[in-house]
Amino acid sequence: MRHFNKGPVTAFVLAAAALLTQAISAQAPAKTGARTITFARDVAPIVQRSCQNCHRPDSMAPMSFLTYEDVRPWARAIKQKVMAREMPPWYIDRTVGISKFKEDPSLSDQEIETIAAWADGGAVRGNPADMPPPRQFENTDIWHIGKPDLVIKSATHTVPATGSDWWGDYVVNTGLAEDRYLKAVETKPAPGAKKVVHHAVTFLLQDEGESDLIGRGPTQNPAGGDAGGFLNEYAVGKNGDIFPEGTGRLVKAGAKIRFNMHYHPVGEETADQTEVALVFYPKGYKPTYYIQASHTGDFDDLDLPPGVDNIRSDGYTRLARNARITSFQPHMHNRGKAQCMEAIYPDGKIEQLNCVNNYKFGWHIVYNYADDVQPLLPAGTMLHVISWHNNTASNRYNPDPRNWVGFGQRSIDDMSFAWVNYIWLTDEDFKAQVDARKGKDSRPTTQQQR
Ligand code: HEC
């Protein structure tokens, strides 16, 4: 428990939260059945916050949850999906490691109980006057990162009305004539095509001879020199990445963009042309820090025998420099089941960072750490990524549990690593940031209340 905030502040916040919870449940004895749980008062606020981003017209989910009439027929299915923690899609194990993320839509145990009690109690509407005002949504068809300097369009892809999902890549030239430093990036499907785009992940292809897996780990590339690799991901509700001031990526002249797409038919033929927008730093300005997602903890000797569950593999990446980690995104394929990442400090201490305990290949989710809990790891730290695969028929994404599976690029092959976003820090800056955290830790009462 060094280097990031899990100390007295957290304890203080937890204690405060516990008091608050008691106070709330004293006012509202939902669990005792003393009053009826209603949609208007109890459920609508949860659905607004955690579901409507996707469950509304022209977003990605097949059914809308804007009104009571929309939601009522789905009450049973909603109860089942939230209790299984399959919806909203967010698969972090809440019982270990870091618990503060940006844009976290996940439900508390209490919210899940509320929804279940509502469904079990007849899914009543309640008093319409209790309804919260409708949530206002940002226009998703605009760019959120400011005026782009360059917009690159993927190839047009027509998704048929029915059929199976499609995974594949399009590679497009940026046409960039000179090297530029990237300040912000955003990816979005064509207007009207959001329903069919399950995910869009973009990669920067530069440096001749690099394969499409060129996000070299920090060991190979300790200076953060930019060999390309993972660029950006589109997920519903994501507004794009604006890098912290002084932090950026190099986009080289002649770079290409690889669009990795997952399309999903929705009953009507739909054409998409996903776009990625880039905002550059002014010409001649060079940011101090690179920020780059790198492959972490790869293990390429995967051995997944047919019919076996809970197959564990371990991969390690040594940090050649001090690092600030801003995000964690497990990457496995159809047999992936769970993944944990821990930090082994140079002095041997081990700290669990996070686990995803319900991995789903269909959802590529970047778990972005809140600023004040982003792990600060000294040079020499070993990141240890532990992956589990399920190659049995009990895994409903398994295309064929009779097959042996190893490492490979195809969806039917498998992988085990994490995409991790790093900012490399000088010794001086690293120390300053660690000290700033400690300073905060020792003055819990001056913390902002949450
Ligand atoms: C990030 C987008 C997203 C969010 C947020 C989200 N959903 Fe979904 N949901 C989907 C998509 C897409 C589907 C269609 C099935 C699929 O592709 O997994 C779906 C399907 C469902 C289904 C239907 C399953 C079936 O039986 O067909 C239910 C029920 C559901 N969601 C409930 C919820 C609830 C309740 C919430 C909020 C607590 C929520 N979802 C939040 C995207 C989302």
- What are the pLDDT digits (tens) for 399-414? 899 999 999 877 788 9
252 phi and psi, to 5 degrees?
-85, 155
Mean pLDDT of 4-28: 40
Do 106 and 156 have their domain in common? no
DSSP one-letter code for 222: T
Ligand 1, closest atom to CA 53? 5
Which residues lie below 8 Å from residue 58, measured CB to CB, with a gap of 6+? 192, 194, 195
Mean pLDDT of 255-280: 93
Around 57, how many Cα atoms within 13 Å sit in the side-chain half-sphere? 2
Rg of the chain over Cα atoms, rounded to whole angstroms, equals: 23
Task: Let me know if residue 66 belongs to a domain.
Answer: yes
Task: Establish whether residue 330 lines the binding site of ligand 1, counting it when its CB lies within 6 angstroms of any ligand atom.
Answer: no
Do 279 and 309 have their domain in common? no
Do 277 and 154 have their domain in common? yes
44 phi and psi, to 5 degrees?
-55, -40
For residue 333, report the distance from its CA to the centre of ligand 1, in Å. 21
- Identify the domain boundary among 288, 314, 336: 288
pLDDT digits (tens, 9 = 90+) for 94-115: 999 999 998 899 999 999 999 9
Task: Let me know if residue 10 belongs to a domain.
Answer: no
For the question of whether the overall pTM of this predicted structure is more than 0.75, the answer is yes
Q: How many C-beta atoms lie closer than 10 Å to residue 434's C-beta?
A: 17
Note whether 148 and 278 are within 8 A (CB): yes
* Residue 148 one-letter amino acid: P
Task: Establish whether residue 50 lines the binding site of ligand 1, counting it when its CB lies within 6 angstroms of any ligand atom.
Answer: yes
Given pLDDT bands bounded at 50, 70 and 90, which one contains residue 228? low
Mean pLDDT of 400-429: 88
Looking at the 3D structure of the chain, how many domains does it have? Answer: 3
Note whether 341 and 418 are within 8 A (CB): yes
Do 213 and 304 have their domain in common? no
Do 257 and 219 have their domain in common? yes
The domain that holds 223 is classified in CATH as 2.60.120.230
Task: Let me know if residue 22 belongs to a domain.
Answer: no
Task: Let me know if residue 121 belongs to a domain.
Answer: yes
Provide the pairing of β-strand 289-296 with 247-251: parallel
Do 182 and 245 have their domain in common? yes
The mean of the pLDDT values for the chain is 84
What's the pLDDT at 214? Answer: 27
Q: Which residue has the tokens 């009953």?
A: 267
Task: Establish whether residue 82 lines the binding site of ligand 1, counting it when its CB lies within 6 angstroms of any ligand atom.
Answer: yes
* Residue 446 one-letter amino acid: T
Given pLDDT bands bounded at 50, 70 and 90, which one contains residue 28? very low
Please list, residue by residue across 218-244, b when 16 or more beta carbons sit within 10 angstroms of its beta carbon and e when fewer do. beebeebebbbbbbbbbbbebebbebe
- Identify the domain boundary among 268, 288, 308: 288
Note whether 261 and 276 are within 8 A (CB): no
Ligand 1, closest atom to CA 78? 29
Q: How many C-beta atoms lie closer than 10 Å to residue 27's C-beta?
A: 8
Do 75 and 113 have their domain in common? yes
For residue 78, report the distance from its CA to the centre of ligand 1, in Å. 8
Probe target for ligand 1 pocket from 39, 51, 72, 236, with the most ligand atoms within 8 Å of CB = 51
Do 164 and 281 have their domain in common? yes
Do 253 and 165 have their domain in common? yes
Probe target for ligand 1 pocket from 50, 54, 196, with the most ligand atoms within 8 Å of CB = 54
Which residues lie below 8 Å from residue 435, measured CB to CB, with a gap of 6+? none
What's the pLDDT at 295? Answer: 84
Do 243 and 313 have their domain in common? no
Cα 446 to chain centroid, rounded: 31
> Bridge-partner residues for 153, per DSSP?
275
Do 54 and 92 have their domain in common? yes
Q: Reply yes or no on whether the pLDDT at 32 is more than 50.
A: no
Provide the pairing of β-strand 275-280 with 150-153: antiparallel
Task: Let me know if residue 212 belongs to a domain.
Answer: yes
Task: Let me know if residue 444 belongs to a domain.
Answer: no
What residue numbers bound the domain in which 75 lies? Answer: 36-130
Do 314 and 427 have their domain in common? yes
Task: Establish whether residue 262 lines the binding site of ligand 1, counting it when its CB lies within 6 angstroms of any ligand atom.
Answer: no
Task: Establish whether residue 74 lines the binding site of ligand 1, counting it when its CB lies within 6 angstroms of any ligand atom.
Answer: yes
- Identify the domain boundary among 288, 321, 349: 288
